[in-house]
Amino acid sequence: MPRLVTLINEVLASGDDVLEREIFGTGDPQVIARRMEVFLEEQFGAFPEPIFYRHSVGIVVGVGLNEQEVVMKVHHWRASKPRLAAIQRVQFELSLMGLPAPRPLVRPSKFGAGIATFEELIPGDIVNGHDIEARKVLAQELCRLISAGRKIVDGDGLGSPAILGEPGGSLWPTPHSPRFDFEATSRGAAWIDELAWSARRRLAALTKELVIGHFDWRVGNLGFVGSKLNAIYDWDSIGLATEAFIVGSAAATFSSDWSKPGGSLPTVVEMRAFVTDYQNAREMSFDADELEIVDAANLILVAYGARCQHSDIALSQVPNASRGESWLGLLQERGGLGVTAF
pLDDT digit string, tens, across residues 208-263:
899 999 999 999 999 999 999 999 999 999 999 999 999 999 999 999 998 776 56
* CB 225 within 8 Å of CB 124: yes
Kindly state the DSSP code that residue 155 receives in the 8-state scheme. -
The most distant pair of C-alpha atoms in the chain lies apart, rounded to whole Å, by: 59
| Residue 321 scores a pLDDT above 50 | no
Whole-angstrom CA distances from 221 to 98, 135, 232, 274, 298 are 18, 14, 6, 17, 19
Range name among 32-46, 126-140, 154-168, 236-250 with the lowest pLDDT average: 154-168
Whole-angstrom CA distances from 64 to 69, 233, 297 are 4, 18, 39
Question: Quick one: pLDDT at residue 206?
Answer: 86
Kindly state the DSSP code that residue 220 receives in the 8-state scheme. G
How many angstroms separate the CA atoms of 304 and 307, rounded?
5
Type and span of the H or E element at 275: helix 268-282
CATH architecture of the domain with range 132-335: Alpha-Beta Complex (3.90)
The whole-chain average pLDDT of the chain stands at 92
Percent of the chain at pLDDT above 70? 94
Question: Quick one: pLDDT at residue 258?
Answer: 83
Q: Is 4-120's fold the same as 132-335's?
A: no
* CB 230 within 8 Å of CB 268: no
How many angstroms separate the CA atoms of 73 and 235, rounded?
10
From the list 68, 65, 67, the residue with the least C-alpha distance to 40 is 65
Q: Mean pLDDT throughout 315-342?
A: 71
| Residue 29 scores a pLDDT above 70 | yes
Q: Which residue has the higher pLDDT, 253 or 319?
A: 253
Q: Which one-letter amino acid corresponds to residue 326?
A: S
Question: Quick one: pLDDT at residue 322?
Answer: 42
From the list 339, 163, 175, 120, the residue with the least C-alpha distance to 250 is 163
How many angstroms separate the CA atoms of 54 and 64, rounded?
16
* CB 254 within 8 Å of CB 222: no
Sorted by where each begins, the domain ranges of the chain are 4-120, 132-335
Strands 222-225 and 68-75: unpaired
How many angstroms separate the CA atoms of 51 and 106, rounded?
19
Q: Please enumerate in sequence order all residues whose Cβ is within 8 A of that of 307, keeping only pairs 6 or more positions apart, or say none.
A: 172, 180, 182, 189, 192, 193, 196
SS3 call for 148: helix
Q: Which residue has the higher pLDDT, 223 or 326?
A: 223
Q: Which residues of 104-140 are buried (b: 16+ CB within 10 A; e: fewer)?
A: bbeebbebbebbbbbbebbebebbebeeeebbbbbbb
CATH architecture of the domain with range 4-120: 2-Layer Sandwich (3.30)
Strands of the chain, DSSP E: 49-55, 59-65, 68-75, 104-111, 114-120, 210-214, 222-225, 228-232, 238-242
* pTM of the model as a whole: 0.93
| Residue 328 scores a pLDDT above 60 | yes
- Give the N- to C-terminal CA distance of the chain in Å, as an integer: 49
CA 76 distance to own-chain centroid: 14
